[in-house]
Amino acid sequence: MGKYFGTDGFRGEANVDLTVENAFKVGRYLGYYYGRNHKAKIVIGKDTRRSSYMFEYALVAGLTASGADAYLLHVTTTPSVSYIVRTDGFDAGIMISASHNPYYDNGIKVINGKGMKLEADIEKKIEEYIDGLSGEVPHALRDEIGRTVDYSMGRNRYIGYLMSIPTRAFKDFKVGLDCANGSASSIAKAVFDALGAKTYVINNEPDGLNINRNAGSTHIENLQRFVVENALDIGFAYDGDADRCIAVDEFGREVNGDLILYVCGKELKKHGELANNKIVTTVMSNLGLYKALEAEGIDYAQTAVGDKYVYENMVTEGNVIGGEQSGHIIFSKHATTGDGILTSLKVMEALIEEKQTLAQLTEPVKIFPQLLINVRVKDKTVVLDDADVKAAVEKVTSDLEGNGRALVRPSGTEPVIRVMVEAPTEELCHEHVLKVVNVIKEKGFAVEE
């Protein structure tokens, strides 16, 4: 974890933690770094929050001042930037988004030439440049100054690519979409309409301030109600930059990333396409998912939280599907990052192939209750290394006798320790999570808020 770049880019409140000066310097360094031996080409996308336009202009100024050409996709999704980078030969891509965060936050996600998140060593060089530790980079002069190019055609090609993935039409399916007033607003409905679905959409009128506001994958209750009230067959909710997807079944029940992994992984296995017979999960995936996978004879791997780590495992081990409970699902045959719209298309394919509803497809998975408590601490490393905290975690897991567990992990962006307990009942979750939290507090590690 760097000083500015976390697991998902450089993120913070606009003009407080992430400033236009920061964005300009990110552009300056990327233009210099990728343009040392040739004229660099960098493609930029953004979500719908008001500050995204401000950061777009700052990044373009930095890139072109260093001699790079900046290609603008305008409002689009994070996975579309990843797709265009790797298919159109760009040196790198930039997505301006704070994902599921409120409108006043924003972020800069840098994607390398392979369509993957930027390497940590390059992020470190950018941070050193921002802090003035690496000296100035040269300005481009005269005809070497970079150009700005409208590249909205790239977004349109990505839409066409999504439409080409399903092998069957969605005719007669009534599908609800919650676009979170974000990036999916200009893409998702067009894709489902083209595939023949009867598409019903909410939260697809962004105004710069309403992105993720009581909408999208972090406020699934709106889509749940919408599906039931309109007697829809299924619903999908995206986040601000549409790299995650949470589904809703025909009864209005939430179908999170774990359940989506089960449905899609099982479908891949049926067709002989589940490489290594394995699904990649994170440590936060539910015990109920693992038990259901074992019943199907499907193996699984666990990584740290973050789709970056999921994809690293997939590349290293050759696995083809992986993701997070939060709805970041990666299908490596089609993408190098989580893609919410792609995920919803793959779920639709499973429904059509199996001739079953989403409720029927997910029925074998018995989700265990989970309780997560965040504890603000002085030093995350000290807590994680403490022998008494480790002993408390091991004791809880042992007491649950294979029907639950305790997990302690650090936040990637805050001085916070996340304590999670999974157990057969909510009462047991509450009882056991306090055993670990109390040890952290008793040892003086917690900070009063």
Task: Give the Cα separation of 84 and 192 in Å (integer).
Answer: 21
Question: Residue 239 annotated as binding?
Answer: yes
**Do β-strands 41-46 and 92-96 pair in parallel, antiparallel, or remain unpaired?**
parallel
CB atoms within 10 A of CB 155: 23
DSSP string covering 135-151? -PPPPP-GGGS--EEE-
How many residues are listed for the chain in this entry? Answer: 449
Measured CA angle at 356 (ends 354, 359), to 5 deg = 130
CB 44 within 8 A of CB 72: yes
Question: Residue 243 annotated as binding?
Answer: yes
Q: Has 332 been annotated as catalytic?
A: no
Task: Give the Cα separation of 399 and 382 in Å (integer).
Answer: 25
420: helix, strand or coil? strand
- Please state at what angle helix 340-354 crosses helix 257-270, rounded to 10 degrees: 50
CB atoms within 10 A of CB 440: 21
CB 389 within 8 A of CB 302: no
Task: Give the Cα separation of 95 and 82 in Å (integer).
Answer: 9
CB 175 within 8 A of CB 235: yes
DSSP string covering 99-142? TTS-TTEEEEEEEETTSSBPPHHHHHHHHHHHTTSS-PPPPP-G
Q: Which residues pair with 418 in a beta bridge?
A: 374, 409
CB 77 within 8 A of CB 162: no
**Nearest of 102, 91, 165, 115 to residue 308 by alpha carbon:** 115
CA torsion angle 112 47 57 31 (round to 10): 0
Return the amino acid letter for 10: F
- 222-231: long-range contacts (C-beta < 8 A, 24 or more apart)? 222/178, 223/176, 223/178, 223/248, 224/248, 224/252, 224/253, 224/254, 225/252, 226/176, 226/178, 226/200, 226/202, 227/176, 227/252, 228/252, 230/174, 230/176, 230/200, 231/174
Question: Residue 241 annotated as binding?
Answer: yes
The active-site residue out of 99, 185, 217, 344 is 99
Question: Residue 172 annotated as binding?
Answer: no
Kindly give, in sequence order, each residue whose CB lies less than 8 Å from that of residue 133, ignoring residues fewer than 6 positions away. Answer: none
Instruction: Give catalytic residues, as residue numbers.
Output: 99
Known binding residues are 99, 239, 241, 243
Known binding residues for Mg(2+) are 99, 239, 241, 243
